[in-house]
Structure 1
């Protein structure tokens, strides 16, 4: 059973001034409208217990000075729709739009001699599943359509109050129709609301061609008076029926941007992707991640960073913890795929570096005074203090490195998953990378994600392998994910994904395998990619 959901509080019932519609301007005259000259009748009964409880109930006044018609309007959001601020925003705008439309419509209704003093109308926003059930009950058609109107008025009763009934609108269907017709979602829902209102006022375009033509005229007149976008919606209503036009095909279900995301998962790199050149997660990118998560998209981090570093970054924008994007219980790929966490944060993979490679790296660091940092799960260690070592914590958010007094203690402290040398970009490219590419042989793999760092990781490991392992664990296919990255270590992940996006600041190798080249990390490229391709 549908119920009122917590986001109901987002719609305000603040000031609602008395609104009197002038006698000549911006209204549908009864003399010009055969529709408003008709009496209302009950199309079918509808049990409101199946509908959402109203988010708002407001009183609106319309009519001539000498006699005002009181109209009660409620707007509800059925619980099957996601908790999305965009839905709430449209519901609020639609509430105001219903009031405007009723001012016009009831001017004609009063002049028809109905003698009503007040009227009630309910608008329910729902998903396709809810609409399909309502349509099956009312019309015995097992399919979702854009709008269904359920009248509660019983003709012939001599009472001053009229209960118009319910206008039920499928937001998901409206989104698909809006995308096909080039409207905004709000435009399409306004059109559906007008069509629903016309049905409640006993204009049924499915009875005959004459009725269709009559409803088209009424629709056009009302839309013109309201100044809303869209014409001849009744005539195009057949497009929503699966059998109406066999030659036309809707876009795939996943293209419904607002409520059925194109991808179930988005795998994101951190440095150079989610983080800008200052190693910060911008407010724009944070909002995009939150928006995606609120719409059911799972954000999975795949990075060379340690998990505490990622959680520290997300905590700064209030997206860490149980109800955030990352936590100790969320899946993720860390330390270039050497640590992989699955469902409920369980560790499903850990790979350690060869101790002999670690010892050689320590000796090289001491002899050449090149800072070296070891990553051991959630902790870091180093052999001596250095500004670069401090920067790993203060700039890159990694755990503060513990300074070990000797090589032996450095090696004995904990299993080491990866080592990172830090130097100038020139030092890395001219000295460190050539030396260690040869020295490690098949005992380790050399990885470079940023110009001033060189990483040593176990052979046969990579971020891409970690991602594949996590997909298998979660039981999802590569086609179901979108991946965003920038570095050479993101190549496999982008090749694996259903859609791979490399930001414009990325390496040429990564751009070469990407499906899309996005904006740079300093231009919130990851946020733009999420809005464009994931939602």
Structure 2
């Protein structure tokens, strides 16, 4: 069966090790697929404000699955096709919990990233385990607030990203977060913590998007490397874990491709979507 949609995680997958640029071979392979009518979807843990530059630079991205599946955006029209978030009361409880522990965090709402300025921007920068190139993107696109509860009032939030959690503190923090209500917790790096509604999942969001487009799981190719990609890798009929990916990602995927910094995405696309030897 032919591939009709390709879904791509960003960090550790589509992007090079700088977390900011797409290897030219990946761009060429995906552009060739797009020109054949294949829909291209970024499927990231990031908010839209941290995805937009890459999507626009590539020029052929059709959809963005955002915040670990909490939202879907039509890149060409700007329309929000789907949202699944945490309610106001739970969001307030998590904000207070993290602030009381003096833990740097950001919150995603309606495509924007809000940084809790009360914890100190420099502390947040030190806690964010990212490359200098992505750190520049991250902190330039953030909206800073000293009153997070007021800023977020009146709407759900798609995701909390806690930049860094010490290993010995993780279990207690997870228990405290779970006490605020139903949540899903995942990671995309070795030490961060991503908090969403339990209904937010890249695989579930892809199912919604493909249902709208009349595309079956067998017609979807997906690439990922981390814990927050498991649902997507399990759901897609043709899925690839990166060679640099986690054990869980490799177990969930149907195939393994090369590492992100060696254009592993292109290797899979060229062979299974473009039919090249």
Instruction: Write out aligned runs for 1:370-449 (5 A).
Output: 370-384=103-117, 385-387=120-122, 389=124, 395=134, 397-398=137-138, 400-412=141-153, 415-423=156-164, 427=166, 429-432=167-170, 434-441=172-179, 442-449=181-188
1:302 alignment partner in structure 2: 43
TM-score, normalising length: structure 1: 0.46
- Secondary structure of the residue aligned to 2:106 is strand
Separation in 2, partners of 1:394, 1:357: 33
Separation in 1, partners of 2:103, 2:60: 36
The answer to whether the aligner puts 1:365 opposite 2:98 as a matched pair is yes
Any conservation in 1 of the 2:94–2:177 contact (CA below 8 Å)?
no
- Secondary structure of the residue aligned to 2:174 is helix
Q: What do residues 50-80 of structure 1 show as CA deviations (whole Å, max 9, x unaligned)? A: xxxxxxxxxxxxxxxxxxxxxxxxxxxxxxx
Any conservation in 2 of the 1:505–1:520 contact (CA below 8 Å)?
yes
Inter-CA distance 411–510: structure 2 relative to 1 (3 Å threshold): same
Separation in 2, partners of 1:440, 1:430: 17
Any conservation in 2 of the 1:433–1:454 contact (CA below 8 Å)?
no
Inter-CA distance 275–387: structure 2 relative to 1 (3 Å threshold): farther
2:30 alignment partner in structure 1: 289
The answer to whether the aligner puts 1:273 opposite 2:21 as a matched pair is no
- Secondary structure of the residue aligned to 1:395 is helix
Structure number with greater Rg is 1
1:519 alignment partner in structure 2: 258
- What is the CA-CA distance between 1:299 and the residue it aligns to? 1.2
Instruction: Write out aligned runs for 1:127-276 (5 A).
Output: 262-276=2-16
Separation in 2, partners of 1:387, 1:283: 33
1:487 alignment partner in structure 2: 226
TM-score, normalising length: structure 2: 0.85
Inter-CA distance 531–437: structure 2 relative to 1 (3 Å threshold): farther
Instruction: Write out aligned runs for 1:24-39 (5 A).
Output: none
Separation in 1, partners of 2:26, 2:81: 29
Unaligned stretches of 5+ in structure 2? none
- What is the CA-CA distance between 1:388 and the residue it aligns to? 6.1
Coordinate RMSD, CA, aligned: 2.5
- What is the CA-CA distance between 1:438 and the residue it aligns to? 5.0
Q: What do residues 88-124 of structure 1 show as CA deviations (whole Å, max 9, x unaligned)? A: xxxxxxxxxxxxxxxxxxxxxxxxxxxxxxxxxxxxx
Instruction: Write out aligned runs for 1:284-363 (5 A).
Output: 284-315=25-56, 318-319=57-58, 324-326=59-61, 330-342=62-74, 344-363=77-96
Separation in 2, partners of 1:470, 1:313: 21
- What is the CA-CA distance between 1:414 and the residue it aligns to? 5.3
Inter-CA distance 380–513: structure 2 relative to 1 (3 Å threshold): closer
Any conservation in 2 of the 1:302–1:463 contact (CA below 8 Å)?
yes
- What is the CA-CA distance between 1:394 and the residue it aligns to? 5.6
- What is the CA-CA distance between 1:422 and the residue it aligns to? 0.9
Inter-CA distance 434–286: structure 2 relative to 1 (3 Å threshold): farther
Q: How many residues align?
A: 263
- What is the CA-CA distance between 1:366 and the residue it aligns to? 2.7
Inter-CA distance 481–275: structure 2 relative to 1 (3 Å threshold): same
- Secondary structure of the residue aligned to 1:465 is helix
Unaligned stretches of 5+ in structure 1? 1-253, 255-261
RCO comparison, higher one (Cα < 8 Å, 6+) = 2
Separation in 1, partners of 2:242, 2:200: 24
Any conservation in 2 of the 1:382–1:410 contact (CA below 8 Å)?
no
Inter-CA distance 411–310: structure 2 relative to 1 (3 Å threshold): closer
- What is the CA-CA distance between 1:421 and the residue it aligns to? 0.7
Separation in 2, partners of 1:520, 1:388: 31
